[in-house]
Amino acid sequence: MISVLFGPEKGFSSDVIVVLDVLRATSVIVTALANGALLIKPVSSIREAVKMKKEGYIIGGERSAVKLQSFDKGNSPLEYFDVAGSKIVLTTSNGTRLIKKAMKYSKNIIAGAFLNLTEIVEYIRNVENIILWCAGNKREVSYEDTLLAGAILEKLNRIGRRDFHDSALVALEFFGRRKEIKFRGTHARRLIGLGYEKDVAFCSQVDIYSVLPVLREDVFIKR
Ligand code: MLT
């Protein structure tokens, strides 16, 4: 069965969990690996991230969408084009916390964004039990994460998957009603208000990278 979780609260076990935080954590992870980063280690706290500096990591992330003073980079995918050969530690308000939580429920976790839509679908197309787990926004449903869940489901539907839980049908029908991939959610509007309109436009691009971040131990690497 394929299920969608619309927010971080409730989890359950699955063969694969696809973590979706379109704005912007999983878009950053995809972008960094596509641009040659060796690995990305998601951590929950600022303290854990800062500790990794000594080990040669680039420290990236945000709180309230803004880069932290002691950090090398924020949570804009546009800051992750110059990371070839580097190790990155990332902490964000919702996305990296959800990744840590998902680790309790599956050994097989991948990071999804519109940027790598087809890669996600190719990886999960024959997997029996799949959760598309949306990071959401401050424990609320996220328009953009739900839209991406729907886009993944539409592709799976086209290749014959029909084993959709009600939650998946909701996301699929929501996506089907959209004529275009346009981000209209609270967090997109907030980011635009903070001057990150280029991030919002960047993250809405489909399939610009053929990269699939897979979690091995506790770091994302390219599959
Ligand atoms: C998050 O993980 O909460 C987001 O990626 C926030 C952001 O847009 O920076």
Domain boundaries, the chain: 2-218
Nearest residue (by CA) to ligand 1, atom 9, is: 65
Residue-level pLDDT at 138: 85
pLDDT in tens, 115-135: 999 999 999 999 999 999 999
d(CA 166, CA 4): 9
What CATH fold (topology level) applies to the domain 2-218?
putative 2-phosphosulfolactate phosphatase (3.90.1560)
Instruction: Give residue for tokens 């979780």.
Output: 5
Residue 182 reports pLDDT greater than 80: yes
Which atom belonging to ligand 1 lies closest to the Cα atom of 95? 2
What's the distance, Cα to Cα, between the start and end of the chain in Å? 24
Alpha-carbon dihedral angle through residues 178, 181, 184, 189, given to the nearest 10 degrees: 180
Residue 103 reports pLDDT greater than 80: yes
Tell me the mean pLDDT in the region 38-59. 96
pLDDT in tens, 150-159: 999 999 999 9
163 C-alpha to ligand 1 centroid (Å): 31
- Within 6 A (CB) of ligand 1 lie 21, 23-25, 62, 65, 75, 92-95, 135, 191
Tell me the mean pLDDT in the region 162-189. 94
| Token digits of residue 199 | 């991030």
Under 8 Å CB-to-CB from 195, ≥6 apart: which residues?
none
| Token digits of residue 124 | 């999960």
Residue 67 φ/ψ, nearest 5 degrees: -60, 145
98 C-alpha to ligand 1 centroid (Å): 11
The H-assigned helical ranges of 103-212 are 117-124, 143-158, 166-176, 186-193, 197-203
Residue 179 reports pLDDT greater than 80: no
